[in-house]
Amino acid sequence: MVGRPEHSGNGYDRAVTAARTRALDIVIRAGVTHRLHTYESPERHGRERDERPSYGSDAASALGVMPGRVLKTLVAAVDGRLVLAVVPVDRELDLKRLADAVGGRRAVMAEPTDAERATGFVVGGISPLGSRRRLPVVVDVSAMDHETVFISAGRRGLQVELAPLELVRLGGAHSASISRTIGPG
């Protein structure tokens, strides 16, 4: 993993190193019990949603963890304001529920370049902790069903495992039902 370039839609590549990330710094400074996990992230990527890999599912598979314990961080715009939505990788974000959870009317997925610019992380490595801009964070209530969960540590191929209540506390988040099972209709 060390030394491999990490692609960003903002037109820059940066080497993936063992250095700490902003997200990991927050966890360490808070003294939170955690475990760091690395894995080989997929090389394929594209700008369109259909061309991008399922980074979260790939992480769950590579780490041998139930997909419900691996959380993906999605950036959505609720009434024009960016919000971080944290949901299990085996579920999908319900935009209406997200809007309700933050007192808004309408939510849409943010463009990848807007998400990267606001968070300072690349798509596939966006963490709910340590964003460049302070953004509201909503964690799906299903995360509380597990003793520990996995979130991106701010880089593709790097996950931090911690208690879901610690995630909520460190992210200044609140928990709400913002996901639905993946399936037809």
72, β-bridge pairs: 87
Task: List C-alpha distances in Å: 142 to 32, 43, 120.
Answer: 21, 30, 27
Residue 44 belongs to a domain with what CATH number? 3.90.960.10
> pLDDT per residue over 98-111, tens digit each?
999 999 999 999 99
Work out how many domains the chain is built from and give that number.
Answer: 1
Whether 1 shows a pLDDT value over 70: the answer reads: no
| Full residue range of the structural domain in which residue 120 is found | 5-181
> pLDDT per residue over 107-138, tens digit each?
999 999 999 999 999 998 999 999 999 999 99
Q: In sequence order, what DSSP letters do the residues of 29-62 get, joined into one string? A: HTT---EEEE-PPPS---SSGGGS--HHHHHHHH
> pLDDT per residue over 54-66, tens digit each?
788 888 888 999 9
Average pLDDT on 62-76 reads 95
| Separation CA 163–CA 146 (nearest Å) | 8
Q: What is the chain's Cα-based Rg?
A: 15
Residues in the chain: 185
H-type helices in 75-124, by residue range?
95-101, 112-119
